[in-house]
Amino acid sequence: MSKFHVLLVSGLFAVLGTGVTSFSQDTVGLKQVAGGITAPVALMPSPDNSGRLFVVDQAGFIWVITPSGNLKVEPFLDVRSRMVGLRPGFDERGLLGLAFHPDYAQNGRFFVYYSAPRRPEAPTNFDHTSHISEFQVSDDPELADPTSERILLQIDEPQFNHNAGALAFGPDGYLYIAVGDGGRANDTGIGHNPFIGNGQDIEALLGKILRIDVNQGDPYGVPADNPFVGRDGRDEIYAYGFRNPFRMQFDSGGSHELFVGDVGQGLWEEVDIVTRGGNYGWNLREGTHCFDPNNPANPPDVCSDLGHMGEPLIMPIIEYRNANAVGGGIGIAVIGGTIYRGSRLPQLSGEYVFGDWSTAFNTANGSLFAAPRADKEDELWQMRALAIAGYPNGRLQRFVLGIGHDLNQELYLLTSNNSAPNGTTGRVFKITQPGDVNDDGCTDDSDLLVVLFSFGQSGSGLMGDLNHDNLVDDSDLMGVLLNYGSGCSE
């Protein structure tokens, strides 16, 4: 390091003082955990307490990150040969969901959601068929048995978009499945109910959260208390009125609520807490606002707050304006997250942490947000942006694809530089205290030394590269100094 940089550090400490902190609760750091992936859309810990993390890659892979933080070279599962061919420019199809059976450590069962070619029984003008399948782990815990697939459910999709695809086991032991409205726009067109759309059609599985019992039945059972069992409507439906509930997760604490980020049409993005039998409004509403599928850019000011069966529409807990709306907004596709239950980021404790894909299709400019629970049940939660330490203007400058957590409930951000599932720019970052490059929960002298000793080095994966631009330089140094003391006990 040059004398100039030594003097720079000394001068900054002389000005700031060794105990100074400009730490804001609205700033977080990122530590790269894995790179070279195509499009990581989901991450979850292995339920066998091995400390491994499993990453769902939209391109058709499930990757394993070892407890020591290394990405395994061989994927846990490769379903590319079973999938529909993905479009190189932009695609919402692919491998979209993974859920481990609650007894995975004993039975080795896990479940995936992927986009397969259109099955013979599907209408010939449909695009593809979504598969919800069960697999088994092999004798090698690092590899699934690719011959063990058992298809549980097939859902024919009229268009390539709005697939959703998240899977999760609830505290009740049942498998929850997020399904989009079938695609295109406004819940209209080929394959959409021409009168009420798929989201409101209780005879269609599209536009729903489904709940099934994978421990009984052939190929599955239906919980007896699903809302449409014994009456009109599909037995598998748990909740309805969704457009593209791309990411969903259960809260690991509290009352284990189910949080869903439902991507909006063009005016509003929303997050919902999903309850049994709830109607979440699409395509009668977009967020809390009226919606007209025949005139989506100019919705009416007044509309009913009831569904077609007279049931009340459930409003979101969070909404924000879409960047494509007149006058601009925050982002164009909400990425659902989870309630933070870890210990490293006490400033986010109990808050819902989520993201947005980007501000435009041709610009990698995703966002990260946090929102504390509202004081009153009928109030919207107030969200705020989380700046990324060391990044220009605190902006991520990547597409946000998902948010996951490890066994300790610490959070991970899944990103890519590409808007389509191709290339190898996908990265997994752990969300840390700002400037905490060594991820010990405190930004202090040890982090400063990491940056100083690697100052001027270039290359990928450098520990001192706070802003992940493959160069340790002044911006990384300032990222530590300006957040010195964050997360540290007094």
382: CB partners within 8 A, 6+ apart: 371, 372, 374
* One-letter identity of residue 79: V
Q: What is the DSSP letter of 456?
A: T
pLDDT at residue 25 in the model: 53
Q: In whole angstroms, give the CA distance from residue 205 to residue 225.
A: 17
Identity of the amino acid at 88: P
Give the angle 104-106-107 at the CA atoms, nearest 5°: 65
Predicted local distance difference test score (pLDDT) of residue 298:
93
Report the C-alpha gap between 342 and 345 in whole angstroms.
7
Tokens encoding 334 = 């909400």
* pLDDT of 462: 87
In a structure prediction context, what are the per-residue pLDDT tens digits for the chain, which is 490 residues long?
A: 444 444 444 454 444 343 332 334 589 999 999 999 999 999 999 999 999 999 999 999 999 999 999 999 999 999 999 999 999 999 999 999 999 999 999 999 999 999 999 999 999 999 999 999 999 999 999 999 999 999 999 999 999 999 999 999 999 999 999 999 999 999 999 999 999 999 999 999 999 999 999 999 999 999 999 999 999 999 999 999 999 999 999 999 999 999 999 999 999 999 999 999 999 999 999 999 999 999 999 999 999 999 999 999 999 999 999 999 999 999 999 999 999 999 999 999 999 999 999 999 999 999 999 999 999 999 999 999 999 998 888 899 999 999 999 999 999 999 999 999 999 999 999 999 999 999 999 999 999 999 999 999 998 888 899 999 999 998 899 889 999 999 998 6
Burial of 61 (0-12, 13-18, 19+ CB in 10 A): buried
- Answer whether 396's CB lies under 8 Å from 28's CB: no
- Topology, domain 24-432: Neuraminidase (2.120.10)
